[in-house]
Structure 1
């Protein structure tokens, strides 16, 4: 299950995009449709991309390499519950979108992300995580890491 942060880095062709592609092989190449909404929001609102460019780039870069997963009512309820249990302002600012990634991957998935709060929460929930560089090529540090990145 792929999180928005590494996919945005991949779509923007950031210098560490090759490491993200390599990590994608370690997880089921699936993306929540909620994550697709988050990607669209960030690329348009933060980076100024047009909707057409986003659609074309997503199709061109991800193509048929990923399976899109729409949340069921059960996944939505679990996402809400995960957020309620784990969100703590400043201490663990896991987003609702991240909780959809967690809920979708909770059965037997691995998450690929660079988001610190998502890494922490996934590990707390016993969900396997592949940590990749985020924006700027830096890997997030969590309390589970033994050494700096």
Structure 2
């Protein structure tokens, strides 16, 4: 094999590598944390205020995983629950937006709401709890690993 053939083979391998890299980069899925991240960033000051509102509560909501039963429990203080106008909880998966789940806050008479965690994929999740009570908005964020 002469030097001209080696150059052609090297060039063909290089072009093949470039084509493969372009194909892989185009076919890779990517997920934005939020579709409207710019608007959310502009609203971040009010988000900080909503978090401060939670910290100012005498009794705070309590979220816990019950791993052996495959569920999660969210317990709100009765006083906060009775004054609540609306609320939602989001299970946010930054690795795959299609796995995100959102539920309205609907408690029993003791302030407890349970969530089935068996259908959620293993890994890191953010739990975002938002509610409005007496005209004041609240926001709490927790990191969990399932």
TM tier relative to shorter chain: under 0.3
Higher-Rg structure is 2
Higher helix share: 1
Considering Cα pairs closer than 8 Å and 6+ residues apart, tell me whether 1 or 2 has the greater RCO.
1
Q: TM-score scaled to structure 1, two decimals?
A: 0.23
Higher strand share: 2
